[in-house]
Amino acid sequence: MANNLMSRNMFPPLLAPGMRHIFVQFFDLKEHAPQYTHYMNEMTSEDAYEIDYELSGTGPMPLMPEGTRPQTDGILQGGTKKYVHLQYGLLSEVTRQLIADDKYGIIKRVPSAHARGGLFGREAAAASLFNLGGTSITTTNGATLFNTAQPLMGGSSATTTAPNISTIINSPGTYPNRPTPDTDESFTAIQQAINMFTLQPDDRGIPVHVRPKWLIHAPQNRWITREILGSPGKPNTANNDLNSLIAENLQGLELNYLTSPSGWGLVANKEGHQMKFYDREPLMAQTDDDFKTQVLLFLSTQRFSVGASSWRGVFFSYGP
Amino acid sequence: MAAFADAIEPNQDLGGAVSFPISYAVEEAAQTFVYGVPVQINSTGIGTADGGVAIWDGAGLVAQIAGFSAQAANNLASTGAGAPVGFSPILGPGSVIGSYAANANQPLAVITPPMVPITDGFSYFFVAAPTTVFIGKLGTSATVTPVATTNAQVGLAFGLTKDTGNPFWYVDTNKTGANAAVRIVGLSPLDPVGTVGGHVLFVVLNAVAQIFD
């Protein structure tokens, strides 16, 4: 039930002294600290939209036998990614009488509630890159952000050139950043994901250096994450092997805005990936009133866009 | 071939703080309508029943005109392509018009030039609300010609017809009675009475309005 016009008859206890304590959720319940700031590249924008463009490098330098002309090669263009900033807004309407008669000064703090709702919007939109990245969020190559076959600009020549990826790729000319099939978070699954990270070439087939930093997971996977990243020995075995994942220095990043309990993924540091958060207009609180009705209007708005220009530096699995 | 109609737009608001209520829904696939034409929301019994905004079929008069388009259609490949869901970005290239293929090895990749229209998968329209007065040209489909305005036309109900020579629609004095869709509530103050093809002010009949009755 939404409350479209807050008036005195909706909050009778606020109109008289005598309440020992009023448990107000929007400031008595602590909200999560911002999470998207850990994994999103945050930028500002002054335009209606931003467009990113992706270009490859050249291919490997081939042999040039004596007295012969060299082979020629140039860079290739990929697609563009358009970030259209979307407006978010929330309005609360309060009668002036309620503001005046509220003995506890709670109603006038409504903008604080808006701030929580605004942060949720940012977090949920940012997390949608993971939640929807396997189905409907696309990057410059037109494929979904997390895909078992990201098409490379260089096509099959790229995967022919790239060394040691025949057991990684699912089809020539593509490279995965999602397992086939999707897996649950486990010691072995993370190792396979790191292999995908480590062996990946650029779009012409030249290996690139990219390392995962964050292990993204839902709260339900907090326990398995601690076991995998924190066990001194190889987790869940009776053997005396070292836990080889410790040297990877992965850090768990628990997100409260993932919609799947079994989804998990790896994200490189901010320089290593292209997930972006464009802040067009920060959260702004405005107050006005309707002259005729003396209804106070609390309006909070923000405008931003999220997206990913490239699948590089990110990996995600949606569970089995 | 006549070509005299032009955009139907909201002109007056009979009350409320918002001048002309605008609503939106996902855009129906393959729509090419322009700004200022009657649109319907395809629902059960109306069109393809997928919730998409499409140009009005010109015939349905029982709760079928949702309003008048506030933007041109984008000729989407599928209904609502790219529309955001809940807390998500636009789920498409952000533009359809003007985009072209980028790379033969990436068949889904497109180049989106700047300055082309933004496509968010939605189609926005001025709601055919009883409080919104629209303005449009007067004509007749009997001879497909414009009609002179007269003061006596105020209060009469007529139909809407698409011009044969351009993509716009006009108030059609040849459609009356059961074929009526709008009611003239005034004449444009900018056109002298008697102007052939003058503009009239009208509201959409309650029975014809799709999402406002």
Instruction: Say yes or no: B85 contacts chain A, CB-CB below 8 A.
Output: yes
Least confident of A84-93, A98-107, A172-181, B13-22: B13-22
What pLDDT is recorded for position B91? 94
Domain boundaries, chain A: 36-56+79-317
* CA–centroid distance for B123 within its chain: 10
Cα distance between residue A299 and residue A46, in whole Å? 22
The ipTM estimated for the assembled molecules is: 0.88
Note whether B189 contacts A: Cβ–Cβ < 8 A: no
Mean pLDDT in residue range B87-93: 93
Tokens linked to A174: 């593509």
Helical spans, DSSP H, in chain A: 25-28, 36-39, 96-101, 110-131, 156-161, 187-199, 222-230
Q: How far is B60 from chain A (nearest CA, A)?
A: 35
What DSSP line would sit under B182-201, residue for residue?
A: EEEEEE-TTS-TT-BT-EEE
Q: What is the reported pLDDT for A174?
A: 98
- Number of domains observed in the structure of chain B: 1
Q: Which fold has domain A36-56+79-317?
A: phage-related protein like fold (3.90.1690)
- For the segment B62-84, the average pLDDT, to the nearest whole number, is 95
DSSP A214-236: EEEE-GGGHHHHHHHHH-SB-TT
* Helices marked H in B51-96: none
pLDDT at residue B15 tops 60 = no
Average pLDDT value for chain A: 95
What number is the average pLDDT over the span A283-290? 93
* Side-chain-side CA neighbours of residue B152 (13 Å): 2
Using pLDDT thresholds of 50, 70 and 90, give the confidence band for residue B2: confident
Q: Point out which residues pair with A150 in neighbouring strands.
A: A175
pLDDT of residue B129: 87
Q: Which domain holds residue B34?
A: 9-81+121-204
Amino acid A62: pLDDT:
95
pLDDT of residue B13: 46
Q: How far is A24 from chain B (nearest CA, A)?
A: 26
Of the partner residues A80, A137, A143, the one whose CB lies closest to the CB of residue B110: A80
B125 lies in some domain? yes
The answer as to whether B105 is a domain residue is no
User: What residues in B contact A48, CB-CB < 8 Å?
Assistant: 118
Among A139-148, B5-14, B15-24, the range with the most confident prediction by mean pLDDT is: A139-148
Residue B143: Cβ-neighbour burial (10 angstroms; 0-12, 13-18, 19+)? exposed
Query: Nearest CB to B106: which of A125, A128, A151?
Result: A151
Confidence of residue B1 (pLDDT cuts 50, 70, 90): low
* Cβ(A82)–Cβ(B93) below 8 Å: yes
pLDDT-based confidence at residue A5 (cuts at 50, 70, 90): confident
Say which of A51, A153, A306 has its CB closest to residue B89: A306
Q: What is the pLDDT of residues B200-212, one digit of tens each?
A: 999 999 999 998 7
Whether the per-residue pLDDT at A166 is higher than 50: the answer is yes
| Residues of A whose CB is below 8 A from B90 | 82, 84, 86, 305
Banded pLDDT at B21 (limits 50, 70, 90): confident
Per 3-state DSSP, chain A is made up of helix, strand and coil in percentages (nearest 5) of 25, 30, 45
**Identity of the residue in A77, A81, A124 whose CB atom sits nearest the CB atom of B87:** A124
Q: CB of B21 within 8 Å of any CB in chain A?
A: no
Looking at the DSSP bridge assignments, the partners of residue A251 are A214
Asked if the model's pLDDT at residue B14 lies above 60, the reply is no
**B176 pLDDT higher than 70:** yes
Query: Using the beta-carbon criterion (under 8 Å), do B89 and A307 form an inter-chain contact?
Result: yes
**CB within 8 Å: B106 and A153:** yes
State both tokens at B52.
Answer: 């998409």
Report in angstroms the alpha-carbon separations of A309 from A93, A139, A313.
39, 5, 11
Residue B94 within any structural domain of the chain: no
- Local structure of residue A132 (DSSP, 8 states): S
Q: What is the mean pLDDT of residues A255-281?
A: 97
Partners of A169 on chain B (C-beta within 8 Å) are: none
